[in-house]
Structure 1
């Protein structure tokens, strides 16, 4: 079946369905409050004092797994995500989220999470099982190679990147008109495909569920995709280059002060923003020349999708520490570990050495020459 189906189109449609689910879950403050669970133990990102997941995160992740797994059975066991499927709502009820064969089965599961709120459960189940065909409205989506080896492809999903921003809903602008500092603008859905043997990311889909505000509580998506295969490079990210007057660097608010100073010394005008996916997207869209993170606080699900798009544009995401140590650009890779390693928590999933994301490879050369090890 998969030979007649375009994986990119499937992922684009899954991404839009994910965005729909995110918007539905966010549209009701009382519902959202019930659906928020704090992560603990190995699930938590130690960078944050509080780390959260929502039903929207888990539901989106399982929806993508379900749909791609059905259409591409050779990939079913290699579709990985940030969230566990276990969810405990504010009432203390623990439920395993599962997508049913029918809409009614999914609604029944969700009703358990929602403490009997049948109408809300049915609305979410309808979104999960709805047929989404946003790809029919898009131009330029390429046909993929018929010889694509799906058994050698894996997927990393971050169903809602910047979950804290998603929960708060507040919008805070930076001093740059095209870069938000925090809020719903920084929320992204990230779906990245990688080669399991080489670890190279090859297809990326990134959506901003709240990319365009249509009304007070009404939004539509901004969608970005890229393909970088040996026989095909394509994308929908033809943004104009910056005017060259300002060199914009985008960083985390927790970035080390000496790293910040080095970038300032290189004449970068720095902007602090939330969300790893969003910061990488600002490099994709030419709003920033570089996204640099010296800490190991991102994971494979944060970077796989935007890295594939950047590769399609001639850029990449590099390992910060290894690149500086070797004075050569060392790209992030996603090779699967052995089974024993997978059982050792989340550490193998972490981009432990930090990252440097660029669209123009000349930028990485300048950075490496000025970020030599002491």
Structure 2
């Protein structure tokens, strides 16, 4: 069944369908208020005082899982995501979010979560089951090798990265071209495909549902993709930095990054930008608007990095293990080889990360960190 189906095109269309769902949910404040549910316990990210999941998160994740699993059944059991499929409605009822075979079936399940808001459930179900051909608007999407073993492929999904930004919607801009500190611009949909035996990411999609503002409260997507295989390297990412000053070095960081880490970069004459969202910060490196994204803490997960890493690999860069790379004084890529579920931390990038588009810039950085 997979012979005449291009996985990359499927994922691009899934990302746009995800963006449509995100925009529909975000366009109505009353609906958004219904959708938000605070994460607790093991689901919460300990970096934040409050962490949230939304029905949009869960619905997007399950839509992608449904779409890809239907077309590539050999991949179905290895399509993983950030969110639990369990959602509790205002009556305290726990409901498992699932995508049905028809919009009517999907709407019935959503209506239970939305406590009888039939029109909202039907609107969301319509987006889930809408035919999307966003790939037709993009150029130079390659055919994938016929030898690709789909049974050896896994998928990591972050349905809405920067959920807090998605909920708040407030935007704060920086002095750096293309870099937003907070707000809807920081929201991304991340899809990454990796080889299960080697753990190497090979296909990545990073979509910004709110990438282009058309008019008040009306947005369209910006989408970047990349493929990195032994016989195929391809991407749609811009390759110049004309908007940046010559010899300007920019690092992008979380506002919670350690002061001593930031000082190392200042010593190397880097300018420091701060932004929300792991996916957004990686995207700034992908788009050549920042030279490096470094996070010294283990607060990102496989779903945050798999997609961006595949794109960066297609560009000649990578996402690296921060601790291992400094210790070994060479680039050590983050790896996604399947691990035992009994390892409680198996989904986390416990050693932090370094994302670069140009591996050549690492030498002075690794040397600087080795001195301290």
The TM-score, its normalising length taken from structure 1, stands at 0.97
Tell whether the 8 Å contact from 2:192 to 2:201 is kept in structure 1 after alignment.
Answer: yes
Out of 349, 352, 355, which is 1:354 matched to?
A: 352
Task: Report the equivalent of 2:267.
Answer: 265
Task: Report the equivalent of 1:253.
Answer: 255
SS of 2:205's equivalent? strand
Task: Report the equivalent of 1:56.
Answer: 56
Mapped partners of 2:371, 2:37: distance in 1:
41
Number of residue equivalences: 370
SS of 2:199's equivalent? coil
Mapped partners of 1:355, 1:373: distance in 2:
19
1:307 aligns with 2:312: no
Mapped partners of 1:90, 1:173: distance in 2:
36
Tell whether the 8 Å contact from 1:324 to 1:373 is kept in structure 2 after alignment.
Answer: no
Mapped partners of 2:203, 2:71: distance in 1:
17
Root-mean-square deviation over aligned CA pairs: 1.0
- The alpha-carbon deviation at position 197 of structure 1 amounts to 0.6
**Matching of residues 270-281 of structure 1 within 5 Å:** 270-281=272-283
Which stretch has the larger CA shift, 83-92 or 267-276? Answer: 83-92
Task: Report the equivalent of 1:322.
Answer: 324
Task: Report the equivalent of 2:101.
Answer: 101
**Matching of residues 34-53 of structure 1 within 5 Å:** 34-53=34-53
**Matching of residues 140-179 of structure 1 within 5 Å:** 140-179=140-179
CA gap 1:51/1:326 in 2 versus in 1, 3 angstroms: same
SS of 1:234's equivalent? strand
Which stretch has the larger CA shift, 170-179 or 88-97? Answer: 88-97
SS of 1:175's equivalent? coil
Tell whether the 8 Å contact from 1:197 to 1:335 is kept in structure 2 after alignment.
Answer: yes
Task: Report the equivalent of 2:233.
Answer: 233
The TM-score, its normalising length taken from structure 2, stands at 0.98
Tell whether the 8 Å contact from 1:35 to 1:90 is kept in structure 2 after alignment.
Answer: no
SS of 2:3's equivalent? helix
Mapped partners of 1:188, 1:138: distance in 2:
18
Mapped partners of 2:34, 2:119: distance in 1:
15
Q: Structure 2 unaligned segments of length 5 or more: list them.
A: none
Task: Report the equivalent of 1:331.
Answer: 333
- The alpha-carbon deviation at position 94 of structure 1 amounts to 1.9
Task: Report the equivalent of 2:115.
Answer: 115
Task: Report the equivalent of 1:372.
Answer: 370
Task: Report the equivalent of 1:210.
Answer: 210
- The alpha-carbon deviation at position 15 of structure 1 amounts to 0.3
Mapped partners of 2:266, 2:369: distance in 1:
12
Tell whether the 8 Å contact from 2:89 to 2:112 is kept in structure 1 after alignment.
Answer: no
- The alpha-carbon deviation at position 328 of structure 1 amounts to 1.1
Mapped partners of 1:245, 1:360: distance in 2:
14
Task: Report the equivalent of 1:284.
Answer: 286
SS of 2:202's equivalent? strand
The runs of 4+ residues in structure 1 deviating greater than 4 Å are none
Task: Report the equivalent of 2:33.
Answer: 33
Which stretch has the larger CA shift, 152-161 or 174-183? Answer: 174-183
Tell whether the 8 Å contact from 1:204 to 1:309 is kept in structure 2 after alignment.
Answer: yes
Mapped partners of 1:102, 1:269: distance in 2:
51
CA gap 1:107/1:183 in 2 versus in 1, 3 angstroms: same
SS of 2:370's equivalent? coil
Mapped partners of 1:89, 1:246: distance in 2:
50
Mapped partners of 1:135, 1:212: distance in 2:
17
Mapped partners of 2:292, 2:90: distance in 1:
40
Mapped partners of 1:130, 1:15: distance in 2:
13
SS of 1:22's equivalent? helix
